[in-house]
Amino acid sequence: MILVIAGTSDARELALRIQGAGYPLIATVVTENAAKEMEQAGIAVRTGRMDADRIASFIQEKAIEAVVDASHPFAEEASKNAMKGAEEAGIPYIRYERASQNFQSNLITYADSYEEAADLAVQKGGVIMLTTGSKTLQIFTAKLIRHPEIRLLARMLPRKDNMEKCEELGLPQKNIIAIQGPFTKEFNRALYKQYGVTLMITKESGKEGTVDEKLEAAVELGINTIMIGRPQIAYQNKYSTFNEVMDHLHHIFQTI
């Protein structure tokens, strides 16, 4: 049995690839919506966050023989917990992470952290569209929401907890764009023009994260972008293609 740390569309595709190769697996996701998509794809799933100790005990309960961590590139805690849990249980850990993309434009500024991105945004001002999700929203609202020369727009998933967090942080309803992608370049262009966006903030999530569409639309409209780089984690057995993951799994189960 393989444990797949999932939650993204490419993680679901990888789980299907593993399952199709004849390996029994169970996926773990955070949200009910992600769980429903896994179940609809015919994948056994567990819902809810797990720390390292819970992962280790889950591995024992389900007789897991390998962990494939296909969590989002910015799900730093999930990856650290998965690595530690696999280590505590004494089983192999494999990291799948979608390939990075190196965008070149004088309109794009790279930041190493959310905090640095917020500081850069303060310097630039204007109408700022935040597309980095709700988890780190407070980092930006703390520095931008009351700035007299800034209008902060937050684009995020239309979930109840997200709306409650926006309210708690004082973000006006008119500045919340609650919508679920994926979005085309044309849709992004229309959205930027509708709100008069002058600065967009995003994460380097990779092509599967539809960063291309956001960036291309912004660059075509002459909109500045702040790109937040991925967390620097010392992963074990890190791969960026499904074939590499499958080759490693084949090796593991041939030697068990």
pLDDT in tens, the chain (256 residues): 999 999 788 899 999 999 999 999 999 998 888 888 889 989 999 998 899 999 999 999 999 999 999 998 888 899 999 999 999 999 999 999 887 766 778 899 999 999 999 999 999 999 999 999 888 999 999 999 989 999 999 999 998 999 999 999 999 999 999 998 788 999 999 999 999 999 999 988 766 545 678 888 999 999 999 999 888 888 889 999 999 999 999 998 886 5
CA-wise closest residue to 38 among 49, 25, 51: 25
All CATH 3.40.50.150 domain ranges of the chain, comma separated, are 108-228
CB atoms within 10 A of CB 179: 12
pLDDT value at residue 209 = 47
Beta bridge partners of 225: 108, 200
Give a three-class secondary structure readout of 206-218. CHHHCHHHHHHHH
Residue with tokens 């429903």: 36
CATH topology for 108-228 is: Rossmann fold (3.40.50)
pLDDT value at residue 32 = 84
For residues 170 and 150, give the distance between their C-alpha atoms in angstroms, rounded to a whole number.
14
The sign one gets for the Cα dihedral 238, 40, 132, 145 is: negative
Q: Is the domain 2-99+233-255 a CATH 3.40.250.10 member? A: no
All CATH 3.40.50.2000 domain ranges of the chain, comma separated, are 2-99+233-255
Structure tokens at 101: 């993309």
